[in-house]
Amino acid sequence: MTGATTPPVTTPPAVGRPGRAGPPGKGGRPLALLAGIGGQNLSLLGALALVLTVFGLLDDNYLGWTNLQVIAEAATITGLLAVVQTVVIICGGLDISVGSQAGLASVVSAMAFTSAGSNALAGTAAAVGVGVLVGIVNGLVIVHGRVNATIATLAGLAAYKGVAQLLSDGRAQGYVLGDPVFVFLGRGRIAGLPVMVWILILVALAVHVLLTCTDLGRNLYAIGGNDTAARLAGIAINKYLVAVYALIGAVAALAGILLTARTGSGQPVSGSEGLELKAITAAALGGCALKGGRGGVVGTLLAVALLGALENGLTVQGVNAFWQNVAQGSLLVAAVVVQQSRSGDRAVGLPG
């Protein structure tokens, strides 16, 4: 009797682990580093360097440490909202209400602070609680109400702004600059950097680790890439979506708290209006595919830095704020056009 022959064992290639771009020692490592950064991020770095150089030549103080801190502080709130906007876009959603959520949280934080006898903990806890609540409401409307995410959060944009104005009677509320906690959050420094910037760094790092190093993050990419396949794979899509919108609400509340700390009072509209457009623009510029399944925190942060540097430079040069809005809208359109050209999708209204 002839014995069975054991087939040779082959090792399947690792999924999602690209090899080095060339042999080490012969240019492979630099090429691998560039490949790891990505073409999108390299383009953003180049654009950021160009903006800094141009405005640095126009104004000697533009690249000074003081002005760079001003740019970073101004971009922090937008950065927080853009980071969580990245998460929801990756899983195929969108949240247009983040600016209104931040404004509502700002009002709640200041009013709760005052009502609790100048208690900063009460103010921050109330704001975060409200943020998580409105985030869950958004998620439930989208998931169980079967409402398109854009329409649901567009309704939230109007509703949450209205609630903030009703609570505050349309005026700034409270005064928190006498409280050491709010002063530390809004004006404190750690190792020479504003506390607000450190908060953005920590949140961005946590979200980056979530997306790149956990099964939860991989599932979010899977949901955005192909929700049907994700459902068949056993991913609880509805629970993920509600959790993502709750996360957005929590971080939007944090942004509102920082807005209160920075301005010294709860702001129902001023300071939060237009933040949703900035957050979406940063995420799109950073490489997020608006159809879902692609994007990352690093690219979003580079886009936030680019938008912040551009806005500050135009302000320093005395350019009308209306033109800044035009530039921001143009960048969003340009980002979407580039995404469409890379995706290879047929242009609307034109033959394939």
What are the residue ranges spanned by the domains of the chain?
41-338
Residue 182, judged by CB atoms within 10 A of its CB (0-12, 13-18, 19+), counts as buried
Q: Is the pLDDT of residue 24 over 70?
A: no
CATH of domain 41-338: 1.10.3470
Mean pLDDT of 73-80: 93
Higher pLDDT, 7 or 240: 240
Mean pLDDT of 204-228: 94
Residues 77, 71: Cα–Cα separation, whole Å: 11
Mean pLDDT of 124-141: 96
Residues 52, 59: Cα–Cα separation, whole Å: 10
Q: What is residue 348's predicted lDDT score, i.e. its pLDDT?
A: 54
Helix (H, G, I), strand (E, B) or coil at 56: helix
DSSP assigned state of 350: S
Provide the mean pLDDT of the chain: 85
Helix (H, G, I), strand (E, B) or coil at 59: coil
Q: Is the pLDDT of residue 344 over 70?
A: no
- What does each C-alpha distance from 235 to 98, 126, 290 come to in angstroms? 26, 32, 21
Neighbours of 276 (CB within 10 A): 26
Mean pLDDT of 2-22: 41
Q: Is the pLDDT of residue 65 over 80?
A: yes
Residues 93, 290: Cα–Cα separation, whole Å: 8
pTM of the predicted model as reported, rounded to 2 decimal places: 0.84
Q: Is the pLDDT of residue 224 over 60?
A: yes
HSE value, Cβ hemisphere, 13 Å, CA-based, for 4: 3
Q: What is residue 309's predicted lDDT score, i.e. its pLDDT?
A: 92
**Where do we find the tokens 């953005």?**
200
- Do residues 197 and 77 lie in contact, with contact meaning Cβ atoms separated by under 8 Å? no
Q: Which two tokens stand for residue 289?
A: 């595919």
Q: Which two tokens stand for residue 320?
A: 């009308």
Band (10; pLDDT cuts 50, 70, 90): very low
Residue 11, judged by CB atoms within 10 A of its CB (0-12, 13-18, 19+), counts as exposed
Higher pLDDT, 39 or 250: 250
